[in-house]
Amino acid sequence: MTRVAILGAGVMGGAVLSALLRSGRPPADIVLSDRMVEPTRELAQQHGVVSAPAAEAAQHADIVVLAVKPQDMPDLLATIHASIGTETLVISVAAGISTEYLENRLPANTGVVRVMPNTPAQVDQGMSILSAGRHCTPKHLAQAEELLATFGRVLILDEKHQHAATAISGSGPAYIFYVTEAMIEAGVLLGLPRQTATEMVVQTLYGAATMIRETGEHPSILREQVSSPGGTSVAALRQLEDHKVRAAFLTAIEAAARRSQELSEGD
Ligand SMILES: NC(=O)C1=CN([C@@H]2O[C@H](COP(=O)(O)OP(=O)(O)OC[C@H]3O[C@@H](n4cnc5c(N)ncnc54)[C@H](O)[C@@H]3O)[C@@H](O)[C@H]2O)C=CC1
Ligand SMILES: O=C(O)[C@@H]1CCC=N1
């Protein structure tokens, strides 16, 4: 079995860890590392895996997952440089960090894969966009795809699309949670108990998402099915158009892609 080192035990590193364990990977094949030593030791113990300093964790791993913030990447890469073997696969989930950046800071010819995952990975419903580096072999790519498929769907795309992927699916859950909050508040405004409003909104989102996937229909068609002539839905949608909500989504997502580009240029 391949040994996996997860470097960075925060939101994404934790999601990768729990997904690997849920998929049946033996805890003995996983090592966790974070500069927050004590909480990481506790987290590792809870999951029955070991924790170790980053260089040591990387040294014994076939796959090294880099799950630190973009600004912490230079330090981490310097720390693990000497621990990366000729066969090691390095997978980075950091927004805006290119495969070229990683390759330039790792030993020559290191196989690198850049990934943009998202937090629904925590419930095995993630969306991961994967781009191969220059020295990534077909075996590396297959290993990365297999690992990422443990927590959701995987798409392999050219690296030039990573900024768009970050803006759409990487940050996407934040927009959906934001819309969810707004709809719950609207329910409370109309006098519903918060818990009731929450249940109604969550089931409606879940049902709508399931319909889009299962019917294969374009969302416009599904929206038309809800919108009776002169009815309630068109009254609400008219307000959303008046408040330029569609345009706001376009500019918001453009801003996220631009920020991803800035992060890749190092601010
Ligand atoms: N949170 C999200 O929705 C998503 C995050 N990402 C990317 O995942 C990466 C991690 O993000 P989060 O998990 O949200 O951040 P986080 O702040 O929850 O976790 C990062 C962890 O890295 C640790 N760390 C920092 N420097 C380190 C070092 N030198 N050695 C070992 N550990 C170190 C920190 O102590 C922290 O626990 C980022 O690069 C982000 O762009 C990608 C997609 C979605
Ligand atoms: O907000 C961020 O920078 C990270 C990358 C994608 C989602 N969260």
For 23, phi then psi, to 5°, come to -80, -5
Q: How far is CA 109 from CA 136, 247, 266, 267, in A?
A: 8, 44, 23, 27
One-letter amino acid of 236: A
Give me ligand 1 centre to Cα 71, in Å. 10
Complex prediction ipTM:
0.98
How crowded is residue 266: how many other Cβ atoms within 10 Å of its Cβ? 11
What residue ranges define each of the domains in the chain, with the CATH number in brackets?
Answer: 4-157 (3.40.50.720), 172-264 (1.10.3730.10)
Give me ligand 1 centre to Cα 94, in Å. 7
Query: Which ligand is located closest to the Cα atom of residue 68?
Result: 1
Q: How far is CA 2 from CA 27, 30, 132, 204, in A?
A: 12, 9, 19, 41
Distance of CA 52 to the CA centre of its chain: 24
Q: What is the pLDDT of residue 1?
A: 72
Ligand 2, residues at Cβ distance < 6 Å: 95, 166, 170-171
Residue nearest to atom 1 of ligand 2 (CA): 171
Burial group, residue 121, by CB count within 10 angstroms (0-12, 13-18, 19+) = buried
Atom of ligand 2 nearest to the CA of 259: 3
Tell me whether residue 70 is annotated as binding: yes
Query: Which ligand is located closest to the Cα atom of residue 64?
Result: 1
**C-alpha count within 13 angstroms, C-beta hemisphere, residue 50:** 14
For 265, phi then psi, to 5°, come to -95, 0
Q: What is the pLDDT of residue 218?
A: 97
Give me ligand 1 centre to Cα 205, in Å. 28
Give me ligand 1 centre to Cα 231, in Å. 46
Atom of ligand 2 nearest to the CA of 116: 6
Q: Which of 156, 160, 139 is nearest to 148 (CA)?
A: 156
Can you give the three-state secondary structure of the chain, one letter per residue?
Answer: CCCEEEECCCHHHHHHHHHHHHCCCCHHHEEEECCCHHHHHHHHHHHCCEECCHHHHHHCCCEEEECCCHHHHHHHHHHHHHHCCCCCEEEECCCCCCHHHHHHCCCCCCEEEEEECCHHHHHCCEEEEEEECCCCCHHHHHHHHHHHHCCEEEEECCHHHHHHHHHHHHCHHHHHHHHHHHHHHHHHHCCCCHHHHHHHHHHHHHHHHHHHHHHCCCHHHHHHHHCCCCCHHHHHHHHHHHCCHHHHHHHHHHHHHHHHHHHHCCC
Query: Which ligand is located closest to the Cα atom of residue 16?
Result: 1
Give me ligand 1 centre to Cα 73, in Å. 9
Q: What string of pLDDT tens digits covers the 267 residues of the chain? A: 799 999 999 999 999 999 999 999 999 999 999 999 999 999 999 999 999 999 999 999 999 999 999 999 999 999 999 999 999 999 999 999 999 999 999 999 999 999 999 999 999 999 999 999 999 999 999 999 999 999 999 999 999 999 999 999 999 999 999 999 999 999 999 999 999 999 999 999 999 999 999 999 999 999 999 999 999 999 999 999 999 999 999 999 999 999 999 988 875
Beta bridge partners of 6: 32, 65
pLDDT, tens only, 168-226: 999 999 999 999 999 999 999 999 999 999 999 999 999 999 999 999 999 999 999 99
* Ligand 1 near 212 CB (within 6 A): no
